[in-house]
Amino acid sequence: MTATATTLGATPGEARAEFRAGLVTPTAGWCAGRTQANLVVLPRDWAWDFLLFAQRNPAPCPVLEVTEPGQVEPLLAPGADLRTDLPRYRVWRDGELVDEPTDVVDLWRDDLVSFLVGCSFTFEAGLTEAGVPLRHVEQGRNVSMYRTNRACRPAGRLSGPLVVSMRPVPADLVATAVSVTARMPAVHGAPVHVGDPAGLGIDDLARPDHGEAVDAAPGDVPVFWACGVTPQEALISSRPPFAITHAPGHMLVTDSRDVDHRLA
């Protein structure tokens, strides 16, 4: 099936029902104004390490919700089933990607704790609304992401470098981009670095570690935000026996509104 203008304008509940029925598509652009979330599912035994890693590294890992063990309906998406309502999942065993199914019903266990983690789609909506251009969207590319020379604070078995996303921002709109995102700490918050890629240990902006290279316009300054890939990289490198995540770009569409994640 292919997404249509109609489905893109669906309510969150309607969108989730389409994904549950078998539609497989990236969720960018779906249900404008509603918050999309990263999903990380771990056995109870690993949940403490992950939640503590998030507490110690809130910019790259802004936790929006944690379910009870086994629970499949999150508060942020009433009526949803976390086992079926994302368009595509990734299944990990001992840190290795073993499958990319469209549901995880047969893999579900009573000891699985689900983490919904804030996503940059939310702050990108805020940037667009404030008139800050998104070069990767203009160019039809995925955002550029880089490993940095900054270590996250470790927690239990989890450690790893801070990963950042980079957006080229016109110099006269950098302050606007900072102000807008600073008000959204639940979705990565203010930039961690502005300009000077070398200061983060990034040698060449044209060779990102994840995503795609994005062309800057004349007068653009590279602005770096903490990125949700950070906790996933730390998690995978620590090799938990079992984990489920969303497939990249195939997020949970929640009923929560992006504006709910802005401070007064």
- Enumerate binding residues for a second copy (CB under 8 A): 47-48, 51-52, 55-56, 63, 66, 178-179, 182-183, 185, 189-190, 263-264
Would you say 141 or 183 has its CB closer to a second copy?
Answer: 183
* Polymer length in residues for the chain: 264
Distance between CA 136 and CA 212 in Å, rounded? 9
Q: How far is the CB of 163 from a second copy (least distance, A)?
A: 21
Distance between CA 81 and CA 92 in Å, rounded? 20
φ/ψ (deg, to 5) at 88: -155, 145
Would you say 52 or 137 has its CB closer to a second copy?
Answer: 52
Q: How far is the CB of 97 from a second copy (least distance, A)?
A: 28
Helix (H) or strand (E) holding 236: helix 229-237
Distance between CA 210 and CA 213 in Å, rounded? 9
Q: How far is the CB of 264 from a second copy (least distance, A)?
A: 4
Would you say 206 or 263 has its CB closer to a second copy?
Answer: 263
Nearest CA to 163 among 141, 184, 181, 143? 143
Q: How far is the CB of 190 from a second copy (least distance, A)?
A: 5
Helix (H) or strand (E) holding 126: helix 120-129
Would you say 53 or 89 has its CB closer to a second copy?
Answer: 53
φ/ψ (deg, to 5) at 123: -75, -25
Would you say 5 or 263 has its CB closer to a second copy?
Answer: 263
Maximum distance among all Cα pairs of the chain, rounded to whole angstroms? 54
Q: How far is the CB of 92 from a second copy (least distance, A)?
A: 22
